[in-house]
Amino acid sequence: MWQCPKCNQEFEKEDQSHLCNETSKLINDYIDAQAEEVQPLLYQVRDTIRAALPDAQERISWRMPTFWSGRNIIHFAAFKKHIGVYPGVEAIVNFRDRLTEYKTSKGAIQFPYDKPLPLTLIAEIAKWCYETQ
């Protein structure tokens, strides 16, 4: 494994070509760039996933905050009317009975800003993704 000295991302190939942009690599920068009223919600999601996956690395992948441990585990992002959480198709299928009140699609869950965030559920999904995928 090779680790970029600028952004600390790990790659299989030495000197792997990648986007290494210091201003967009930190999850704090991503969250702080969002609407002020959304920032506390994003920090709640981040803190919840961080507590659930204490050994995972945080990084920006696919232009979203991502938790990584040898692979992308789970992403989240801010949108106009919701926070999107991206655990993958298998997680959506596994948790479908508990996601009925939220809009889901192939690999994504939308948590609208006008409802309380189901932080316990988000933590369970993150742990499941880490352990099974």
pLDDT for the residue numbered 23: 37
The pTM of this model reads: 0.81
Amino acid at 24: S
Domains of the chain: 22-132 (3.90.1150.200)
Question: Which of 89, 92, 80 shows the shortest CA–CA distance to 121?
Answer: 92
Q: What is the pLDDT of residues 70-124, one digit of tens each?
A: 899 999 999 999 999 999 999 999 999 999 999 999 999 999 999 999 999 999 9
Q: What is the pLDDT of residues 40-71, one digit of tens each?
A: 999 999 999 999 999 999 998 888 999 999 89
- Is the model more confident about 98 or about 16? 98
The total number of residues shown for the chain amounts to 133
Q: Of all helices (H) and strands (E), which one includes residue 58? A: strand 57-61
Cα separation, 59 vs 85, in Å, equals 15
pLDDT for the residue numbered 25: 54
Task: Please state, in angstroms and as integers, the Cα–Cα distance from residue 50 to each residue in 47, 80, 92, 106, following that order.
Answer: 5, 24, 20, 24
